[in-house]
Structure 1
């Protein structure tokens, strides 16, 4: 009997020790340990309730758990405790009010327990203050959202590439630049698919530097982007070594500089034209004075005795005078001899004038005039005739195997007249087409580039425009738009 009592006492002591341990855990734990009824009322609360909520444990007894919950989280908490009736374990995060009136975030883990078979189950809750963690998460989320909005709405293309050059992210601006419908058309593919082959070497050089880490650089470099619709864009690109979702990657920033490049080219072209105009005016002035004297004395030498050689000299002097007059067009700021011009009659006369030359080249010239009575403008007849002759001659020369030239004229929108000269020639490559009209640039072997430049100048003096469209082995369309009335405002 004594032995049994001794064994029982040892077990009882062991139970008391465990109870002391549990009591110490509950007394000194920084987490709030509470026991709730199925209705959500406090049956027990640990001393941590004062630190977390500002209430002594005894103040919480018989108070409802719901009374402290934030209104926006109340329904979520009700559903949580209802589900606990069918589960043994669950976790929830919610906001609860402290005595001072402010709210903190709690993370509660609940266990369903039964003290005995007759009583209903109760919920043992261990609640931890996670306010700092929640605020940090919200701050990170807010920062990520700001960065996402900044990236998505940036005027520059922003993307992320693997170190091998495969795209794993691109923003909305990138879709527009690359001319794609969805991001799936570029994600997972090499960005070199959208870079002109001539620029592959440049791109690979910069991405390799960052990949190898020997000479990492964020230097800006230029290259040409080619879209699926074959439209080209001039861009500036920068590659920056970075981490993306734990991977070593390269952030790609692309700026479209196509318009800027075009503006720079226009400024350079305008500067060239200005220099050429000044040069042409100086040359024409210096040539015209001695030319007048030479022509006068040559005519005296001819006298009454006609000389074939003198006639040749006079004819060539006339041609020099014509060239000098053309040069002066580049320097002349405005139209001088404004007159009423019948474009229908003028175009037909040009076709008649060049018909013999066209026949020699096996070329047929056809004129198609729509509503001829309405095709009247104010301008310089001789200068406009010079433009049409120059363009038709170019069309004839562009058809070494013969063909057909169609000269169309019709009224256009906004009080303008459209003249189109269409040939079936060899066409002009896209790269050369962009440079047509620049000083000293010509597609002809012995051309000077001044012919089309002079045509452009004459048309601009008439407040018109000259546009050229061409396809290789199909032909070229030159369209000239001229306003009907120049009298109200001269250039």
Structure 2
């Protein structure tokens, strides 16, 4: 009877004690008490989850025995001082690894013990260390980069710039640049381009001229990468100095132009020397025998002069800019007209020109006479290539926004190693050709926004393909 009454009297206390033990076991914080020299007098049950030790295994053990050697002096000083607060140290688990603990303390009721409330902050510390390592790595990368790297606001104001940037801008210190604007170092003609790139808040690449503090000009490639730093919209700036690269390219272009001029000069001299030699010889004969065969000599001289005039005329077409007078033209009847013009000439060579088209109308913006000149040149080449006669197919088609004209013959064909040279000045597969005809054709088509391609098989024939952009309102025109 007395036993039952006793149990009923302590039931609530037993329940409270059970609840406290359960709370201590599952708590995120670890509660412990220690003597002033660091020995455990109590360790909450959660120590087994955190460290792998039971409360009994920690009892009367010194906390300094579990502390990392690098933190031991700091922890001993913490216990021996009269002021208590927060401390962080590493505690060795039973498996041998360490956990970072963040502890706060207070003196016990008797002032002879220290009560610690500790929390496992290993994950947070590791994350912070990784962040510091990454920041250190990023800073090393920024500082030792060969390109200028920095951060600017959405208005272009510098908030950071690396050492290379200081050199590029011609500054003696970072303070000269931080707080100024990228616009201060940008050529005024590039303001609009820079402003549009910053306003779009999209990653962008642009090429601008930079003006250094000493007014020296640099050509630079600028990459803008929008990002957020300290809750502010900013852009990471990467600037590459390409001044030397552009200077080298300009020098190469000049050298290439000089080389082309040299080749052209040599070709012109070669082509004109032959008729000049003939003219000189027959003129001498005329002076020695003015009455004998004068008419024949004069005819030869005139033919050679006409050849020189033709060469000079072709060169002028290449050298002198031609006035452009584009009109909207239906390509199908234009090609038909050229074929009808050349069919009699083809018949004399036992050749026949056939037209094939997949559309009744294909409109392009062009100079009709120039396109006719190209087609006449190409078809005449095909006629001359077919010494034994045959068929020349002129196919007209349209795909997407491009019109195509293909001229295919059944001639001797051109070896592959000679195809790449077609269109070069004074290179020709004909015995008396100058090569200027194809060069002029290529220039005309290029001026119309198109291109010419050649393909050939020896003993089977050659195909020349012209592609030109169709008229923008083509769809409207045919509806």
TM-score with structure 2 length normalisation? 0.52
Question: 1:230 aligned to 203, 210, 215, which one?
Answer: 215
Counterpart of 2:186 in structure 1 is 195
Does 2:118 align with 1:127? yes
Does 2:31 align with 1:33? yes
Return the alpha-carbon distance in structure 2 between the equivalents of residues 260 and 285 of structure 1: 37
Q: Tell me the C-alpha RMSD between the 2 structures.
A: 3.1
* Secondary structure class of the residue paired with 2:41: strand
Counterpart of 2:418 in structure 1 is none
Counterpart of 1:55 in structure 2 is 53
Return the alpha-carbon distance in structure 2 between the equivalents of residues 242 and 121 of structure 1: 56
**In the alignment, is the contact (CA less than 8 A) between 2:33 and 2:113 conserved in 1?**
yes
Question: What's the CA shift for 1:21?
Answer: 6.3
Counterpart of 2:254 in structure 1 is 269
Question: 2:143 aligned to 136, 148, 152, which one?
Answer: 152
**In the alignment, is the contact (CA less than 8 A) between 2:151 and 2:234 conserved in 1?**
yes
Question: What's the CA shift for 1:287?
Answer: 7.7
Return the alpha-carbon distance in structure 2 between the equivalents of residues 38 and 268 of structure 1: 84
* Secondary structure class of the residue paired with 2:73: helix
Question: 1:142 aligned to 133, 141, 153, which one?
Answer: 133
Structure 2 portions without partners, runs of 5+: 1-9, 288-479
Structure 1 portions without partners, runs of 5+: 1-11, 211-216, 301-491
Return the alpha-carbon distance in structure 1 between the equivalents of residues 80 and 209 of structure 2: 63
Aligned length: 273
**In the alignment, is the contact (CA less than 8 A) between 2:21 and 2:45 conserved in 1?**
no
1:284/1:58 Cα in 2 relative to 1: closer, same or farther (>3 Å)? same
Counterpart of 1:207 in structure 2 is 198
Residues 99-141 of structure 1: CA deviation (Å, up to 9, x unaligned): 22221211111112333xxxx4321101112222222222222
**Residues 176-195 of structure 1: pairs in structure 2 closer than 5 A:** 176-195=167-186
Does 2:237 align with 1:246? no
Return the alpha-carbon distance in structure 2 between the equivalents of residues 287 and 29 of structure 1: 102
1:46/1:70 Cα in 2 relative to 1: closer, same or farther (>3 Å)? same
Deviates more, 1:173-182 or 1:264-273: 173-182
Question: What's the CA shift for 1:276?
Answer: 2.1
Return the alpha-carbon distance in structure 2 between the equivalents of residues 269 and 79 of structure 1: 77
**Residues 92-131 of structure 1: pairs in structure 2 closer than 5 A:** 92-115=87-110, 120-131=111-122
Deviates more, 1:145-154 or 1:35-44: 145-154
Misfit runs of 4+, over 3 Å: 12-28, 279-294
Counterpart of 1:257 in structure 2 is 242
Return the alpha-carbon distance in structure 2 between the equivalents of residues 271 and 30 of structure 1: 76
Question: What's the CA shift for 1:188?
Answer: 1.3
Residues 153-180 of structure 1: CA deviation (Å, up to 9, x unaligned): 2222221111111111112221222122
**Residues 465-476 of structure 1: pairs in structure 2 closer than 5 A:** none
Counterpart of 2:75 in structure 1 is 77
TM-score with structure 1 length normalisation? 0.51
Residues 189-239 of structure 1: CA deviation (Å, up to 9, x unaligned): 1111111112112111211222xxxxxx32311100111112211111122
**In the alignment, is the contact (CA less than 8 A) between 2:37 and 2:80 conserved in 1?**
no
* Secondary structure class of the residue paired with 2:146: coil
Return the alpha-carbon distance in structure 1 between the equivalents of residues 79 and 216 of structure 2: 62
